[in-house]
Amino acid sequence: MTKRFQDIAPSGSNVKQERAWVDFVLLPAVTMSVGWGLRGFIGGGSLGAMIPGALVALVLCRGLGLPDAICGRIAAFGAVGVGFGGQETYGQTVRLVTDAGPMFWRGVAGLGVKGAVWGLLGGAMIGTGLVAGRVTRRQWWVALVLLVAGTWLGWWLIDQPKRLYFSNLLDRPRAEIWAGLLTGTFLFLGWIAVVLQARARLVLALALLGAVGGGLGFAMGGASYAGGMALGWPAVWYPGWKQMEFTFGLLLGAALGGATWWQRDVVVAAVSESEPGQRSHGTAWWPVLSAVLAVALILGGSALPIRFGYTVSGAALLVLAFASERAAWQIALTVTAGAFFLDVGKVFTESHPTVPSVLVTVVALVLSTGLCLRVAARRASGREMIGWSLRVLLWLAVAAAMGSTAFHPKNTPASLIVAAAFVGGGVLITFLARVRG
């Protein structure tokens, strides 16, 4: 069980030095790798990217020994923060690499840039979540307004006119958003640095090392994918795309974990001095209402006629997570799982066209409601949340991946290898998270 935060020494010595590489390098790396592989297998886009974001945030909370009272917020910040990057398009960028033509290095550079932006923004949000108790509500609103405004500005100046472009201009050119996300992150980090002052070094460390890990992970993953194809490895046996995603997640998770260990004293000081309690609404139905509100915000953002709708809805989700700890748990767990429940249901209806899609959707909603109530009951009982949440979200996602594999009409040895990797990775994560030095 995770130790009480009050028992942590000022130096953060609740984690033994000989266990640091496991708790802050190996475990985050494997967790993010498996989570990133699950993203795309049981849900794409920003909602799929919430899976690795929530999982790695929970792992970092566990390693630091933080109290449950703030870990829901951190998990929600991780889910939404990594979800922001899910708006990036990179399919054509990967094609530039795997075609092994004159555009190879442009494709590698594009993957590096997009991976770096993803890691920068995700790391910035997780880092802010770790010390958000030092931020006022008004300061947080300003930070999110700057994030959204900066995203629009970068998109308008660079992405929309395709001034620096990493997709295919000649064949169905994709609408990119990497420059928008980068500009928004820079404005966000600038404001956070002003607000947090010395404690901003934690946020900056996670953001910058996240950029390094994400950039190297995506570029190396793409290059190794291309290498496998150049060697003539048959696609039916070689899960090259997933190998690329596993590599991306592995290096990004290790970078985020290493940055957290490096700056752990900042977290300890920020929480120990005065962690303002998050507001918890009194009504017993608030967890369900907050989950419904979160879904409505996501749907509302997706309906906006802009390229970065999830940035708008994600910012609104972060306002909700900042304001209410119980809502934060629902965003991190119920919303994340509910999205992949629906995705697996879609795969099921595609392979079973006689089954009404509305029935499958109802089943997914029932499962999501059940999880919502279970999360609320667990938190209200006062029992440990971090390890439980990590296991529940991880194994629900792995089970969904197994279901998606079983329902898919065209499985190959490569897809079965990936499914086995999910199970093996889940077992390893569960083992490492239970063992403490």
Tokens of 180: 């928008």
Statement: residue 274 has pLDDT above 50: no
Separation of alpha carbons 102 and 81, rounded Å:
34
**Amino acid at residue number 350:** E
Total residue length of the chain: 437
- For tokens 């690795």, what's the residue? 52
Residue 100 Ramachandran class (φ > 0 left, ψ -120 to 50 alpha, else beta)? left
Separation of alpha carbons 313 and 126, rounded Å:
18
Residue 85 — pLDDT band, cuts 50, 70, 90? very high
**Amino acid at residue number 258:** G
Is the CB of residue 166 less than 8 Å from the CB of residue 93?
A: yes
Residue 13 maps to a domain = no
Give the residue-averaged pLDDT of 104-119: 97
Query: What pLDDT does residue 270 have?
Result: 81
Separation of alpha carbons 103 and 381, rounded Å:
57
Query: What pLDDT does residue 144 have?
Result: 98
Query: What pLDDT does residue 131 have?
Result: 93
Query: What pLDDT does residue 101 have?
Result: 85
Residue 16 maps to a domain = no
Name which of 331, 240, 351 is nearest 286 in CA terms: 331
Residue 5 maps to a domain = no
Convert 103-129 to b/e letters by CB count within 10 Å (16 or more is b). bbeebbbbbbbbbbbbbbbbbbbbbbb
Question: For residue 279, which phi and psi values (nearest 5 degrees)?
Answer: -75, 130
Statement: residue 5 has pLDDT above 60: no
Separation of alpha carbons 63 and 74, rounded Å:
13
Statement: residue 149 has pLDDT above 50: yes
Query: What pLDDT does residue 7 have?
Result: 42
Paired strand residues for 248: none
Separation of alpha carbons 229 and 248, rounded Å:
18
Instruction: Identify which has the larger pLDDT, 410 or 77.
Output: 77
| HEC-encoded secondary structure of the chain | CCCCHHHCCCCCCCCCHHHHHHHHHHHHHHHHHHHHHHCCCCCCHHHHHHHHHHHHHHHHHHHHCCCHHHHHHHHHHHHHHHHHHCCCCCHHHHHHHHCCCCCHHHHHHHHHHHHHHHHHHHHHHHHHHHCHHHCCHHHHHHHHHHHHHHHHHHHHHHHCCCCCCCCCCCCCCCCCCHHHHHHHHHHHHHHHHHHHHHHHHHHHHHHHHHHHHHHHHHHHHHHHHHHHHHCCCCCCCCCHHHHHHHHHHHHHHHHHHHHHHHCHHHHHHHHHHHCCCCECCCCCCHHHHHHHHHHHHHHHHHCCCCCCHHHHHHHHHHHHHHHEHHHHHHHHHHHHHHHHHHHHHHHHHHHCCCCCHHHHHHHHHHHHHHHHHHHHHHHHHCCCCHHHHHHHHHHHHHHHHHHHHHHCCCCCHHHHHHHHHHHHHHHHHHHHHHCCC
Structurally, the chain folds into a number of domains equal to 1
Statement: residue 330 has pLDDT above 90: yes
Statement: residue 433 has pLDDT above 60: yes
Name which of 61, 87, 59, 86 is nearest 73 in CA terms: 61
Residue 415 maps to a domain = yes
Separation of alpha carbons 312 and 151, rounded Å:
10
Query: What pLDDT does residue 234 have?
Result: 93
Q: Mind listing the pLDDT tens digit for each residue in 160-198?
A: 999 999 999 988 999 999 999 999 999 999 999 999 998
Residue 2 maps to a domain = no
Separation of alpha carbons 107 and 101, rounded Å:
10
Separation of alpha carbons 70 and 350, rounded Å:
40
Residue 15 maps to a domain = no
Separation of alpha carbons 414 and 423, rounded Å:
15
Residue 149 maps to a domain = yes
What is the extent of the structural domain holding 331?
23-434
Statement: residue 57 has pLDDT above 90: yes
Q: What percent of the chain has pLDDT over 90?
A: 84
Residue 217 maps to a domain = yes
- Cβ-proximal residues to 121 (8 Å cutoff; 6+ apart), any chain: 81, 84, 85, 181, 184, 185, 207
Is the CB of residue 29 less than 8 Å from the CB of residue 250?
A: yes
